[in-house]
Structure 1
Amino acid sequence: MSLSNEIIYSNISLCKDIDVYKFDITLSRRLKSKNSQGKLKLVPLIASLYNFARMILFLLYHRKSICYFTPPQSAYGYLRLVPGMLLSKIFGSRLIVHMHGAKFISYLERSHKLVRKVILWSLKYVDDFIVLGDSLKDSHSKIISANKIRVCENGVLDPEYKGDKINDEKVNVLFLSNLMKDKGIFEFLDAVEKLDDNMFNFDIAGAIETSNNKHINERLNKLGSKINYHGVVSGEKKARLFENADIFVLPSYDEGQPLSILEAYSYKCAVLVTDVGGVCDIFKDGINGRFIKVGSSSSIVSSIKNMTKTEIEIFGNVNLQSYYAKFTEQALVKRILKILVD
């Protein structure tokens, strides 16, 4: 979510006829497991409250502004923003909520009845509710009027390198995401163990989930030279991994609209991904790559083994065309601006 926010903020800030003010009330940027998300800690809470106070002062002096919120998916995370949302309406602002994910309704349904009631009540005051794809528009129409829901697909930065793929004899397979249970890391490692490293190279990059740190490191060590673990990557190193990859694998249990898939498109990778959340809005089986089954290492194994180099090339070309047609940084900003100035 933060990458999309940064793209939107940095580009809209350059618009001469729009004044942009940002208030970051994020409680933490550390990687958390799904179970620990939503828990509060004192120092981040104080920083969040400070920025919230600044936002109130802004609203006092800038009435009838456009207030654009990008809340977390958890019900309690969303609840934390409700006072700011309501204040923006009291001061005559237009309220826009941009949901970067597909699990909000699921979290809402599992939340305390009172929390759920407050959130549903607050949604009545939202002017525009942005989701990432048409499939999510349908599901969110259960909690907010369909005529308030707007669709805005994600976009990513232009690739740093645009050279041809390295013509190795082996097929290069990349897992680039947080190494979390819910991202399917264990299924991917199981698949690597079953695949022939004389035919495939395996690269893994991303932060390791704290709650599974020991277990994941043990698995990485067990696989030894069969994999290349690069840790957390960004910039040139991240670009090089994508540039070198033939197949990008994301076996997640749930997703909104993964930026990593769009990044893989921009680097001409074939993609293997689970059919979860809003993935179906940006990925078609047999066109952009192959769907794999959730929680199934054997599905990953068979999909990698059965994808020919000709198919990899075809998928890669289609994905690169898809990126330039719809998922560039400029395309994202154009979609957002259309909603903001509508």
Structure 2
Amino acid sequence: MPLNKVLIITNPLNHEGGVVNYYNLFFKHFESDTIVLKHGTIGSRAYLFYYPILKRLLYPFYYLWDVLAYILRLIGDRKIKIVQVSPSLIPVPLIRDGLLIVLAKLLGKKVVVFYRGWKLPTYNKIANSNIQRKLFNWVYQKNTLQVVLASAFKQDLVNLKPKKTNEIVVTTTAIDKSQIVQPNKNLEPNPIKVLFLGRIQDLKGIEELMDAIIALKNKGQLQAFQFSIVGHENKSGYTQKLKDKLKANDIPSDKVKFLGRITGEEKYKLYANHHIYVLPSYTEGCPNSLLEALASGLFCITTNVGALADLVVPKENGLFVKVKDSDEILSALQYCADNTDFNSRREANAEHYSNTFDIKKITKLFEAKYITLIEKK
């Protein structure tokens, strides 16, 4: 088979977020004798991350520039056989990537859509509007290989009743198995060490976690726990707001430590030295942090959203809590305090999930799908 190229379009690879982190890993570990990966940029630049107003003002100009560069690239490089986009199911990314898909198909390229986020309100609007459903099916599903992060998302796409769609593949995001630090066998059982690692914003359920911590204190149970909050805030001053709330409720600072953003080896050591990972998000696709936590053997307390329903097995590797429900987070933490063997499968889980989610397994899957798609007439 001759050498062919797959052009993957995402935000700039120096940007923030799970999609960029995933693709940096994907590009690093993808190996093939017949497929070469290339990257194309679309959307806002990394330097605008903390300037939302300027970001919105400049976005149209960057977008038009990126689309022009994209068209010229597809016309000029005949070895590009596949274009891959990775939208979330929200209006702006759907419109942004929808144009790229239409242009790719007009220029004779195959298309892969890897849906990275799934917003039910957006899906319901599409499903309940005959015009939107037909337009979505024509742009996104017709003659398109689609990749989703949860079996529920696949069923949602099928329920839209598309015609002439290619395969719908269910996969996960990925980890680099070689970076995982094995669980600390000498970790003391008390206090129970709880880790939150993600973007510090309300959509991650961080405020409900703070309320649960306050409830533990009010019930005289906080001494059994130690919390580490890791991540960067989505807006300036938000972390301080959370600290002020804890201080106003007499929560000792040594019980809840805000450690800022931590990456690389230090991040994986954090996983290894905690018992529980908590992520009470309002909405998710398939967060890398949860895969890393499972691969590190942590017991995961999370909401039943997105792909998490496919990953967490209650009382075996974690517990589900309701969205926006601090009482359920409290109950889940109390369950762990009351059941000293809550994470008895830690080492076995770490071995199983580090193999299941390894990036090399994921890249092999994509290589096979790329080859099949290119060969398909």
TM range (shorter): 0.7 to 0.9
Residue from 58, 62, 69 that aligns with 2:73: 58
Shift in CA distance, 233/48, structure 1 to aligned 2, threshold 3 Å: farther
Q: Is 2:357 aligned against 1:327?
A: yes
Q: Distance in 2 between matches of 1:153 and 1:313?
A: 25
Q: Is 2:214 aligned against 1:189?
A: no
Match of 2:90 in 1: 74
Preserved CA contact (<8 Å) 1:89 1:125: no
Deviation at 1:60?
A: 0.5
Structure 1 residues 199-235: Cα deviation after superposition (integer angstroms, max 9, x where no partner): 1111001122328726334225443332110111211
Residue from 57, 67, 88 that aligns with 2:104: 88
Structure 1 residues 111-132: Cα deviation after superposition (integer angstroms, max 9, x where no partner): 8977766444312444211101
SS at match of 2:88: coil
Kindly provide the amino acid, as one letter, of the partner of residue 311 in structure 1: F
Preserved CA contact (<8 Å) 1:270 1:289: yes
Deviation at 1:160?
A: 4.3
Match of 1:339 in 2: 369
Preserved CA contact (<8 Å) 1:156 1:329: yes
Deviation at 1:303?
A: 1.5
Q: Is 2:56 aligned against 1:20?
A: no
Q: Distance in 1 between matches of 2:66 and 2:42?
A: 6
The Cα RMSD (Å) is 2.8
Listed as ranges, the matches of 1:116-265 within 5 Å are: 118-143=135-160, 144=162, 148-158=167-177, 159-162=179-182, 164-168=184-188, 169-195=190-216, 196-210=221-235, 213=238, 215-222=241-248, 223=251, 224-265=253-294
TM (norm. structure 1) is 0.87
Residue from 310, 322, 325 that aligns with 2:341: 310
Structure 1 residues 46-77: Cα deviation after superposition (integer angstroms, max 9, x where no partner): 33433322221121123461111112331222
Preserved CA contact (<8 Å) 1:204 1:227: yes
SS at match of 2:229: strand
Kindly provide the amino acid, as one letter, of the partner of residue 180 in structure 1: Q
SS at match of 1:210: coil
Structure 1 residues 274-319: Cα deviation after superposition (integer angstroms, max 9, x where no partner): 11122111222122111122222221122122223322132x2343
Q: Is 2:64 aligned against 1:49?
A: yes
Deviation at 1:109?
A: 3.9
5+ unaligned residues in a row in structure 2: which ranges? Answer: 1-18, 373-377
Preserved CA contact (<8 Å) 1:191 1:301: yes
Kindly provide the amino acid, as one letter, of the partner of residue 363 in structure 2: V
Shift in CA distance, 45/157, structure 1 to aligned 2, threshold 3 Å: farther
Shift in CA distance, 31/57, structure 1 to aligned 2, threshold 3 Å: closer
Preserved CA contact (<8 Å) 2:182 2:350: no
SS at match of 1:273: strand
Q: Which moved more, 1:20-29 or 1:182-191?
A: 20-29
Listed as ranges, the matches of 1:2-21 within 5 Å are: 2-12=20-30, 14-21=31-38
Q: Distance in 2 between matches of 1:24 and 1:66?
A: 15
TM (norm. structure 2) is 0.80
Preserved CA contact (<8 Å) 2:183 2:296: no
Deviation at 1:40?
A: 5.9
SS at match of 1:313: coil
Kindly provide the amino acid, as one letter, of the partner of residue 235 in structure 1: G
Q: Distance in 2 between matches of 1:181 and 1:306?
A: 25
Shift in CA distance, 313/336, structure 1 to aligned 2, threshold 3 Å: same
Structure 1 residues 253-294: Cα deviation after superposition (integer angstroms, max 9, x where no partner): 111112111100121111111111221112221221111222
Q: Distance in 2 between matches of 1:282 and 1:212?
A: 33
Match of 1:289 in 2: 318
Shift in CA distance, 305/341, structure 1 to aligned 2, threshold 3 Å: same
Q: Distance in 2 between matches of 1:124 and 1:162?
A: 41
Q: Distance in 2 between matches of 1:47 and 1:166?
A: 51
Matched residues, number? 335
Match of 2:297 in 1: 268
SS at match of 1:309: coil
Kindly provide the amino acid, as one letter, of the partner of residue 200 in structure 2: L
Q: Distance in 2 between matches of 1:301 and 1:193?
A: 9
5+ unaligned residues in a row in structure 1: which ranges? Answer: none
SS at match of 1:333: helix
Percent same amino acid at aligned positions?
A: 24
SS at match of 1:57: helix
Kindly provide the amino acid, as one letter, of the partner of residue 229 in structure 2: I
Q: Distance in 1 between matches of 2:242 and 2:204?
A: 13
Preserved CA contact (<8 Å) 2:227 2:257: yes
Shift in CA distance, 217/153, structure 1 to aligned 2, threshold 3 Å: same
Structure 1 residues 183-202: Cα deviation after superposition (integer angstroms, max 9, x where no partner): 11111111112223421111
Structure 1 residues 145-188: Cα deviation after superposition (integer angstroms, max 9, x where no partner): 57532212221122342252442231111111112212111111
